Chains A and B, each alone.
Chain A
Amino acid sequence: MGAQDLFEAADFGRPLERQRGSTDHTNALLRGRRVAITGGTAGLGLAMVRELLSRGARVALVARRRNRVERVARELAGAHGIVGDVSRKDDIHPIALQILGALGGVDVLVNNASALGPQRLELLADTECEDFEHALATNVLGPFRLTKALLGSLAASAREGRGGIVLNVSSDAAVTPYPRWGAYAASKAALHHMTRIWSEELRAEGIELVSLDPGDMDTDLHRQALPDSNPASLKRPEAAACELSDAIEASLSRSGAARATAMEAELR
């Protein structure tokens, strides 16, 4: 199954089919894999950090607020905390440097950090240009720049059979024109299309890029957009984190990483 199939499998709006629970991943495909994730101190990102660590991955998490980064790094043994804002061009290489420094390379990149754009949902015509720009900087240019900065390492990972996977966290808003979600939705649509093009271009390098919709979750971003929605009607970030981690493992099993893991197991 290629990146496009995975994307279709996500079928925006419908939750990803859960393939395995977080406790029955016996293949241990993520064990020892070096994973970098942005927006890793809250919501889906934090849930993914926990899930990936529980599956044996080495995780570097990136987020803007130092106190939150330090708290998560303190509480979760094995997590490397990096302070940085992916929407800022000048932050990207220092972030990349610290990811590569802390982990020695990267096998999987999860571009999860997202911004709504305006503080609350607005009609597109009422959206300030600067707010639109902020959504694009966080949701499109940030992932573009960080992926580009890490591409050499991802390609090396693919060559060495360890991975070379980029997971961009998308939304059903990327394909469905929901009124008042203009800045966010347009930026996610751009992220999705960028993912598809890059996936085509980098196939020969063995790098796999996927864009997945985790579904409507009970997160800060969702509360910011729709403060009155009932949390009980929303998906728990932990469930989405489990599904996305399964998707990464499915991708790893295709990328030859499983073969490398088996080889390493033999060597041990």
Chain B
Amino acid sequence: MRAASHPARHSRHAKLLVVRPDRRIEHWRRSSLPDLLEPGDLVVANDAATLPASLSGTHLPSGRTVEVRLAGRRCLDPADVNEFAAVVFGEGDFRMRTEDRREPPPLNCGDRLALGPLTARVERLLQQRLIWLRFDGLPTEIWEGIARHGRPIQYAHVPLPLALWDIWTALAGPPVAFEPPSAGFALSWGVLATLAERGVRVATLTHAAGISSTGDLSLDARLPLAEAYRIPDTTAQAIRDARKRKGRIVAIGTTVVRALEHAGSLDREVVAGERLATQIMGAGSRLRVVDALLSGTHQKGSSHHELLRAFVDDRTLDRMDLELERRGYLTHEFGDSILVDRCRLSEQIVQPVRDRRPIHDLAMRRSERIFEDGRQRVGPQHLPAVGSRTHSPH
């Protein structure tokens, strides 16, 4: 598939491939999304605004230029912004393919980084170019430094520098995503109004969408990292209401699937509160909450494409990929979209399953290694409601 190279968030020409529950494939305009939903359905979108998470600066011990891409946080607390997981690149910028970027200088614990008005220290080396860093200063100073100095993370397929307004969705709220939850570009205020007129409700959660590529194959294979999310009481209630009405839960983006399925992984009930989503989803993942997914078009082998295997069998996915290619669908964050209904289990074609363990098992161990710092070890089996006063689910 060709990459969409212009930041057209609400393009009227955007296409939508639809996979029906009976595996039929149809082609629509993305603006027709409301026609594909039924009164009583609930659309759940990720309302995270995207940080300008690319910070250029200097690795002080070597004097070399580096680009630091913030990639993860332990929680969503606005006052807890001193520490981040981050990927470090050497000289160059987004115009160069990520996999061709220069390696950063040798990094050691305690190394100082000067990033515009911000200064930081390498706290830990996690893997290759992935580090845990700690900013100096007060939260307000860090927010200002990121706001003033940071640039959106972007890749070589978009040649012009992006601005924040290019990557914030209409519903953007808490600035906690590292790359845009781009499926949300389909929801203009006009589309939202049409959904409301059709009797389709819209709810949001906040999920700190992480980075999609590090340029390092072994590191990319471990994506997505653990991601913090928050489900408001009103959204948990809206999900219960929709189920009572037999409406579908339609996730806008893979991050919403990850959050809702994490929150519903012990019980079918989605519990409000803030947690870390740690599971990596794929063919072996059993969907307990989400009935349909609106997403971008994804390349085979990517973690987003892997997640689609939880919705449909591989044979249908192969047909979908072929159709996307043949009909000239565009890919990446400003590309076209797909709407995939979960195929009915009774009809599911048995495919070789790569991972039949519980969805969180393998991935959580991976993510724990990345986030483990002695302060927090979390997973669905003990679902701590970080910062949630109203819910202590277990």
Contacts and interface: CB of A to CB of B under 8 A. Distances in A.
Contact of B232 (A94, A100, A153, A160): A160
B171 interface: yes
B165 A149 contact: yes
Interface string B144-165: 1011100000000000000111
Contacts of A95: 147
Contact of B204 (A156, A201, A204): A156
A247 to B, nearest CB: 25
A93 interface: yes
B148 A94 contact: yes
A98 B390 CA distance: 27
B144 A83 contact: yes
Interface stretch (B92-100, B172-180, B242-250): B172-180
A159 B147 contact: no
A93 B165 contact: yes
Contacts of A93: 147, 163-165, 168
A153 B51 contact: no
A152 interface: yes
A160 B234 contact: yes
A17 to B, nearest CB: 34
A204 B201 CA distance: 11
Interface stretch (A20-28, A101-109, A209-217, A227-235): A101-109
B174 A97 contact: no
Contact of A149 (B168, B189, B203, B232): B168
Given A82-B144, A267-B389, A100 B233 contact: no
A113 interface: no
A92 B163 CA distance: 11
A66 to B, nearest CB: 10
B78 A104 contact: yes
A101 B81 contact: yes
B60 interface: no
Contacts of B163: 90, 93
Contact of A97 (B140, B164, B171, B389): B164
Interface string A167-205: 000000000000000000000000000000000010011
Given A104-B78, A156-B47, A160-B234, A94 B147 contact: yes
Given A152-B170, A152-B171, A101 B232 contact: no
A151 interface: yes
Interface string B315-348: 0000000000000000000000000000000000
Contact of A152 (B81, B146, B169, B389): B169
A98 B147 contact: yes
A81 B138 CA distance: 13
Contact of A98 (B144, B173, B193): B144
B143 interface: yes
A98 B196 contact: no
A90 B143 CA distance: 16
Interface residues on B, range: 35 or more
Nearest to A84: B147
A101 B233 contact: no
Nearest to B77: A104
A96 B76 CA distance: 17
Contacts of B78: 101-104
A98 B389 contact: no
Given A97-B147, A101-B175, A159 B49 contact: no
B185 to A, nearest CB: 13
Interface size class of A (residues with CB under 8 A): 20 to 34
A118 interface: no
B147 A101 contact: yes
Nearest to A151: B170
Given A80-B140, A82-B144, A149-B165, A100 B193 contact: no
Contacts of A94: 147-148, 164
B168 A102 contact: no
Contacts of A155: 171
Nearest to A156: B173
B235 to A, nearest CB: 8
User: Interface centre among A100, A156, A204, A205, by most B CB within 10 Å?
Assistant: A156
Most buried by A among B147, B171, B203: B147
A156 B48 CA distance: 11
Contacts of B168: 93, 149, 152
A203 B104 CA distance: 51
A156 B147 contact: no
A237 interface: no
**Which interface residue of A83, A103, A105, A152 has the most chain B CB atoms within 10 A?**
A152
Contacts of B164: 93-94, 97
A143 interface: no
> Which 9 residue pairs are nearest across A and B when measured between Cβ atoms?
A93-B164, A153-B173, A94-B147, A101-B143, A152-B171, A152-B172, A104-B78, A97-B147, A152-B173
11 contacts: A97-B146, A97-B164, A104-B76, A105-B173, A105-B174, A149-B168, A153-B47, A159-B204, A159-B232, A159-B234, A160-B233
Interface of A: 80-83, 90, 92-98, 100-105, 149, 151-153, 155-156, 159-161, 201, 204-205, 267
Given A153-B172, A156-B173, 19 more contacts: A93-B147, A93-B163, A93-B165, A94-B148, A94-B164, A95-B147, A97-B51, A101-B81, A101-B143, A101-B147, A102-B139, A102-B140, A102-B143, A104-B174, A152-B49, A152-B171, A156-B232, A161-B234, A267-B389
